[in-house]
Structure 1
Amino acid sequence: MNTIDHPLATAYLDAVARETAELPAERRAELLADLREHIEVSGAEGEQQLREVLADLGEPRTVAASALAEEPVAPAATTAEPPRTGRAWPAVLPLTAAGPLFLFNMPLGGAVLLIGLWLLWNSPLWDQPSKTIGTATAAAPPVAVLFGSFLLAAPRIGPTELLLLLAFTLAVPAIGAVTLLRAARR
């Protein structure tokens, strides 16, 4: 019987093959070919000599670990992930709507704002700075509306000021929404 066809050699090579499944196919085939060649040229006659040759090569796990350690770390296979903005809308929409709603119905606007903030801060889509920007741009209009409502008692607040307040409650959350959507794409 040829040394390489011996059940011990076959079992050894199979074990190395299993342990090196993470290696690129070309590198794995090269390693197994080198081991086969070493076993064949060893000239081992009999089971005892073959056991010694295999022991000199090392345990299959050790051989595999060495081969894997020598292999450069391959970048993880990237799958084309669709933009994450589709999942961003459930948080962005209430944050954007809260300001204008606050103008017409403060309790409803406040509830929508709290829901949007909860969704924003519990979402993995954004980092801390993006969440802070989203919070600031969503909270600024209600603060401006509250401040403006205190000033409405003053006689100098007119339609122009109210239009400016409306523009502010629309523009600032829109800027925040664009910022959050861009951050979610990264």
Structure 2
Amino acid sequence: MNATDQHPLVAAYLDAVARETAELPAERRAELLADLREHIEVSGADGDDQVRAVLAELGEPRTVAASALAEEAPAGSVSAPAPGRTKLTAILLGVSGVLLLLNPYVGAAALIVALVLLWGAPQWESRQKLIGTATGVALPVAVFLGALLGDASRIGPMEVLLILVFSLGVPTLGAVLLLRAVRR
């Protein structure tokens, strides 16, 4: 460890890069940090202004980390989601409403599996996952609220038709939105 490593600006910079590259394999992160240290040391900067200039030349820690992560992405397995898993998630989510009406146990199992797959998938952002979840659980919540608040003896053909359209339409809409998000 040399005097440059002990400079508070250098230490803060390297800590920030280390935090931002937490997703990199440990060996690659250590190599990146060693390269940055070496560059700073070779620069011979010894005053605050000189150290700031060298760090500015290297770039913001977030930018350095993004570059390192982008270089690592082709070798990593996180970049491309499995198309079969994406389709399975969308299909299970889309049919969960109808399955819940036909057989509550099978429908509940399909919905739970779809939600587990959805929330474990890297290809969707949190907002898209929330939309998928909302469209998937809309039918069970509506049926539950209807059972609590309504009189089941007053369900006529129009109500049955609305329930069928709702149970097919809303989860299917969520599945279509998820598939469109993946294609973008």
User: What TM-score do the two structures reach when normalised by structure 1?
Assistant: 0.53
Paired position in structure 1 for 2:133:
135
Describe the superposition over 1:40-83 as per-residue Cα deviations: whole angstroms up to 9, x where unpaired. Answer: xxxxxxxxxxxxxxxxxxxxx98xx99xxx9xx9x97999xxx9
2:152 is matched with 153
2:180 alignment partner AA: R
**How far does residue 97 in structure 1 lie from its aligned partner after superposition?**
1.1
Q: Which amino acid counterpart does residue 182 of structure 2 have in structure 1? A: A
Count of residue pairs brought into register by the alignment: 124
Spell out, residue by residue over 1:79-101, the C-alpha distance to the aligned partner (whole angstroms, 9 max, x if none): 9xxx9683411211111111000
Secondary structure of 2:122's match? Answer: coil
Cα-Cα RMSD: 3.6
Q: In structure 1, what residue type is equivalent to 2:166? A: F
Structure 2 stretches lacking a partner, 5+ long: 1-37, 44-56, 58-63, 75-79
Partner of 2:106: 108
Return the offset for 1:175.
Answer: 0.9
Q: Deviations over 1:109-160 (max 9, x none)?
A: 11110000000000111010000000000111222233445535232x1011
- CA shift in 2, pair 1:136/1:179, >3 Å: same
Which of 94, 97, 105 is matched with 1:96 structurally?
Answer: 94
AA in 2 matched with 1:114: I
Q: Does 1:118 align with 2:116?
A: yes
Contact 2:97 2:167 in 1 (8 A): yes
The aligned counterpart of 2:166 is 168
Tell me the percent identity.
46
Which runs of 5 or more residues in structure 1 are unaligned? Answer: 1-60
1:100–1:166 Cα contact (<8 Å) kept: yes
Q: Point out the structure with max Rg over C-alpha.
A: 1
Matches within 5 A, 1:47-58: none
Deviation at 1:168, TM superposition (A): 0.5
Partners of 1:163 and 1:147 lie apart in 2 by: 18
Q: Say if 1:99 and 1:152 are closer, same or farther in 2 by CA, change over 3 A.
A: farther
Partner of 2:183: 185
- The 2-side partners of 1:104 and 1:146 are apart by 16
Contact 2:81/2:121 (8 A) holds in 1: no
